[in-house]
Structure 1
Amino acid sequence: MGHQISRRTLFRSASGIAVAGALGTSLSACSGGTGAGSTSSDLTMIWWGSDDRHAAYKKVLAAFQKKNPKIKIRPTYSGYDGYFDKFNTNIAGGSAPDLLQMDTALVAQYARKGVLAPIDSYVGKSLDLTGFSKTLLAAGTVDGKLYGVPSGIGVNQLTVNRTGLEKLGLELPDREWTWADLKKISQDVYKKSGGKIYGVDDGGGSTLQCFEVFARENGETFFTEDGKKLGFTADTLQEWWEYWAGMRKANASPPPAITSAAHNDLTKNAVVIGKALFTFDSGVYGAGGSITDAQLDFLPTPQGDFSGAREGNFVNGGVLLSATKASKKVADSVKVMSYFAQDATAIKDMQLLRGIPPTEKARGLIASGLTETDKLNMANADYIAQRVGKASDALAAPAPPPQGADQIWDLLFQSNLAVAFGKKSVKAQLGAFFDQSAGILEG
């Protein structure tokens, strides 16, 4: 079963972002062409995912067609690799699908190139978004228009090996914990394990689930709203890297060789290989299912423990369902989106396969059928969503990332490694990071 889908998936969207940028003008030129829906009597729909997700989608669509016999749906599905390559080829050839599962990392680029259809005019009519928060809908909103319906709640959280903690005689930290609390328990893990296990994997280069939250606690964003510049200061990044340098020095986090080996490879994640008990990568229990036998639990990203710290956590939309602008079946596609969002049977059939359901109603409908870890996962996401919703000082949810974002995220990771390996000082790496980031965003 698939589970929590967070903004960590954005790192794995790099190939799609690159292709979208490379096609640039061809996407714009073809966006007004004939979509697949206009050359076929069927509504064409595409998505990516696991076999479990495919089966659930097909079951829900079959039920939808029984209730809507005039709408015939022709589905195509695959894994993530190559998904957007094929989508781009179809756009360029004038055979774009009518309805698709869209990545939150790419929605802004496709919307601005005229590939996706705005669907605001359907809201409150054939598109029922009752129970969806404004914060959540921001994940599918570009330049004030809605281009996608979020599938679920995506949150920034830590995945915890609770079994390992209990074996060491340690308790799971309170959800209202701070960065100082993270350091303390991470040091306790190292001491209690006799130096065999570190507390938390190195988050100094973990952009989306770690540094972005820290920057927001400082009242800053990763990118500016228009995506043309970085939204945080050198002082904030310096404080961040110095925190993680201190974590490594105190043996609270593993040495850089472990961090480097785990980059974009979950099988080498420090929690999975037994070298840490806390990780910022929710993919350990993510869309492909758990890859460790330990009992896992979940915590919000820590809060700022400095004067004036704001709520840094936020909620995003998992994946989206979007319609293509070239399609002549946008109205029918919207009916499908609404069905997935509100139909009780559809919600139960999908469970957590597209992320934690986006509304309290939906979460209540599936709660009784979940595994213990699923329940813990959903409870933590629900807790974060409620806390963010109540926070008067929380910034708006981040805008969809700009072109070049994947390069900057990777640059942050590599920059932290350079510091960790002793190749660069924090201050020297700061200058290089900001210079290179500016060049990427300007290019």
Structure 2
Amino acid sequence: MPGNRTTRSWALLMTLTLSALLTACGGSEGTSGGGKVTLRYTWWGNPDRAARTDEAVALFERKHPGIDVQTSFAGYDAYKQKLATQAAGGDAPDVMQLDYRMIDQYATGGVLLDLGTQPTALHTDEIDPGLLATGAVDGTQYALVQARGTEAVVYDAKEWRAAGVAPPRTGWTWDDWADAVRELTERTGKPGSVDPGQSEDCFEVWLRGQGKSLYTKGGGLGFTADDLTRWWTFADGLRREGVVSPAEQTTQLDGSVENTPLGRGKAVSDFNWDAPASGFTALVTDGVTLAPMPSGADGTPGQYFKPSMFMGAAANTGHPEEAARLIDFMINDKDAAKILGASRGIPVNESIRADVVPGLKDFDKTVADYQASVEGVLDDPPQAPPSGDSALQTTFSRDYDQVSFGRMSPREAAENYVTEAKAELR
């Protein structure tokens, strides 16, 4: 995981390259043979998502013969780093997949196109207004939500069942979860779960279960060093017991399912967002199942339905209308929706969702059924995180690495993180 990429340094680099951002053409004004427009479209994901995306893009090209689309993808961490480098250098791809955490950063940094300038190419009337608003900053629509998702406990169903451990259930608590991974470890001889201590996402779920939040409405920290100390003490204790993955495995996590303990057969369960967990199906041959995240001690759920990802266009693209048409196609085209399934989450276009969900199969159906099981239970999503959160994800896992390797106590690491976070968010 990279360290020390702060918002201040990123903002300085953005300032130094602002004129390039506004004028550089890079690959954005490219044409291919026959005078076709060429768009670069990038996203993060796993091979399953890549295969479906390429198939959908091929359909787009057939329906829009004047446009060629060059696609590329990577695991989340690698994608995030590359996109930051491209954006800072004025070479952002024409169309890009964006995380909730990226919207504020790239919108305020001048990287993203105001999609409101393309009203004839984009159609948003069948997207829930609340979800649509998550891609806006200060009233300007910079990104469109593609789908919704929620976090889950992902587990090897056959191995869990063979161990004779009670299956996960709605309303189980973090203490219930800890007891389950202890039993799994005892009966399978390997950690019952990946170590959740390194995950800011898991911490947020735990925190919300305590009635707190990751950030305040003003963009400051919504928790204290005491809160983070409790979380890291809890996770570190389980690691010391040997019932979650050891530090040597946890530090190899890079956002891809292939490098997780579950994906390598070295743990029985993991934490992930529901749709991306499809990547485990090629690695866990007996199949994986999704279960609700643990709740607070009183049953308060910490997870929520989150825009699973967005699509945006580069502010300096030479082809804003064509970029908008690709975004519109990936979100609103019924044929594309049949190809994409739930690989990015459940579609947000209401009529497409009604058409697609009943026909979902295999893991797509697993995702849809899982979301249905928690429908009406989860609270509304928080506002999009402030710009500094993208860098703080890295800081969070880096500081927990210090705990995992015994270089810092949970208290020392928590105080260090809170100090850095406050400076980052200032």
TM over 0.5: yes
Residue 184 of structure 2 aligns to a residue in which SS? helix
Q: 1:211 aligned to 188, 200, 203, which one?
A: 203
> Cα offset for 1:270?
2.3
Cα pair 2:67 2:322 within 8 Å, conserved: no
TM-score (ref. length: structure 1): 0.77
Question: Is 1:240 the equivalent of 2:231?
Answer: yes
Is 1:274–2:265 an aligned residue pair?
A: yes
Alignment partner, residue 286 of structure 2: 294
Structure 2, gaps ≥5 residues long:
none
Given that 1:101 and 1:322 are in contact with CA atoms closer than 8 Å, whether structure 2 keeps it comes out as yes
* Aligned alpha-carbon RMSD (Å): 3.7
Q: Secondary structure at the match of 2:269?
A: strand
User: Corresponding residue for 1:352?
Assistant: 342
Corresponding residue of 2:192: 199
Q: Secondary structure at the match of 1:222?
A: coil
Q: TM-score, normalised by structure 2?
A: 0.80
User: How many angstroms does 1:191 deviate by?
Assistant: 3.0
Q: Which residue in the other structure is 2:413 paired with?
A: 429
Q: In the aligned structure 2, how far is the partner of 1:347 from the partner of 1:313? A: 26
Q: Find out whether 1:372 has 2:362 as its counterpart.
A: yes
SS across alignment from 1:318:
strand
Task: Provide the secondary structure at the position in 2 that maps to 1:160.
Answer: strand
From the superposition, tell whether residues 103 and 268 of structure 1 become closer, same or farther in structure 2 (CA, over 3 Å).
closer
Compared with structure 1, are the counterparts of its residues 339 and 382 closer, same or farther at alpha carbon in structure 2 (3 Å cutoff)? farther
Checking the alignment, whether the CA contact within 8 Å between 1:356 and 1:378 is kept in structure 2 is yes
Gaps of 5+ in 1: 1-10, 67-71
Q: Which amino acid aligns with 1:231?
A: G
Residue 341 of structure 1 is matched in structure 2 by 331
Q: 1:27 to 1:380 in 2, by over 3 A?
A: farther
Instruction: Tell me what 1:108 maps to.
Output: 104
**Offset of 1:16 from its aligned partner?**
12
**Between Structure 1 and Structure 2, how many residues are aligned?**
411
Q: Does 1:316 align with 2:322?
A: no
The whole-number CA distance in structure 1 between the counterparts of 2:222 and 2:28 is 40
| Counterpart contact for 2:154–2:271, Cα < 8 Å | yes
Does structure 2 conserve the Cα–Cα contact (< 8 Å) formed by 1:135 and 1:315?
no
Output one character per residue of 1:166-213: Cα deviation in whole Å (capped at 9) or x when no partner. Answer: 1112342113322122122212212333xx1222221112112x0011
Write the distance in 1 (CA, Å) between the matches of 2:217 and 2:170: 30
Conserved 8 A contact 2:204-2:213: yes
Alignment partner of 1:47 is 2:33:
no
CA spacing shift, 1:337–1:408, aligned 2, 3 Å? closer
SS in 2 for 1:79: strand
Identity %: 21
Instruction: Report the AA paired with residue 247 of structure 1.
Output: L
2:397 pairs with one of 396, 410, 413: 413
> Match of 1:69?
none
Contact 1:158 1:281 in 2 (8 A): yes
Does the alignment pair 1:387 with 2:377? yes
Task: Say whether residues 1:362 and 2:352 are aligned partners.
Answer: yes
> Could you tell me how far apart the structure 2 residues matched to 1:56 and 1:37 are?
22
Task: State the 1:400 CA deviation.
Answer: 4.0
Give the direction of change, closer, same or farther, for the CA distance of 1:23–1:57 in structure 2 (3 Å limit): farther
- What are the within-5 Å matches in structure 2 for residues 1-400 of structure 1? 21=11, 23-33=13-23, 43-49=37-43, 50=47, 51-65=50-64, 72-80=66-74, 84=83, 87-88=86-87, 91=90, 98-120=94-116, 127-193=122-188, 196-208=189-201, 210-225=202-217, 227=219, 229-248=220-239, 251-262=242-253, 266-282=257-273, 285-286=277-278, 290-306=282-298, 310-327=300-317, 330-331=320-321, 333-359=323-349, 361-367=351-357, 370-384=360-374, 386-388=376-378, 391=379, 394=380, 396-400=381-385
Change in Cα spacing, 1:14 to 1:338, as seen in structure 2 (3 Å) is: farther
Instruction: Tell me the distance in 1 between the aligned counterparts of 2:142 and 2:3.
Output: 18
SS at match of 1:325: coil
Indicate how the Cα distance of structure 1 residues 436 and 57 shifts in structure 2: closer, same or farther if over 3 A, else same.
same
Comparing 177-186 and 73-82, the one that deviates more: 73-82
CA contact (8 A) 1:200 1:279 kept: yes
Moved more, 184-193 or 262-271: 262-271
For residues 72 and 51 of structure 2, the distance between their equivalents in structure 1, rounded to whole angstroms, comes to 12
Report SS of the residue matched to 1:153. strand
CA–CA separation in structure 1 for the residues paired with 2:104 and 2:307? 14
